[in-house]
Structure 1
Amino acid sequence: MKTIRIRVTGKVQGVFYRKSAKDKAIELGVKGWVRNEQDGSVMMEVSGEPGALTSLVEWCADGPPRAVVTDVKVEDIPFHDFPHFISER
């Protein structure tokens, strides 16, 4: 298990990115949170098995149908055992 921070930029707000990311994370067994940032990006901190995290990062590069992703940055951070996955405002 490991924890990563993901920042997604582009047209990622107002396109159901957070809801879709939460659904994908739950499907993959990943726990953590997702939220919109004031700069227009979407930020996630997530914990899970390395393969599941890789799959989530790959999904983030495309996102939901109306999203236009321009960049995905991934950073390893200290492990955190999140109890579930939530979408913050």
Structure 2
Amino acid sequence: MEPMQLLLQLVAGLVGGNAAGAGLKNISMGTALNSIIGLIGGFGGAQILALLGLGGAAAGGGAGFDTAALIQSIVGGGAGGGILVAIVGAIKKTLAR
């Protein structure tokens, strides 16, 4: 994996995590925790897409500039970050009852 793809995954996860927290106020855990969980989810989400073969060079290890791999990094990272924040927030809310 290229460093640029990793950076995109992490940034997209951070944005996705904070967007989920802002959109779903009842599960938001605050900016700092949403950001940390979003970063983790961003990396994981993009890796899952790559394992499924939905990421161009990210999945196949190709060289050079690959637009599909960059899009996979952004989409997978953002979705992974948002989904993980939603899951962790829902679990935290359930356990707090």
Normalising by the residue count of structure 2, what TM-score does the alignment of the two structures yield? 0.29
Which has the bigger relative contact order, CA under 8 A and spacing at least 6? 1
User: Which structure is higher in strand share?
Assistant: 1
Which has the larger Rg? 2
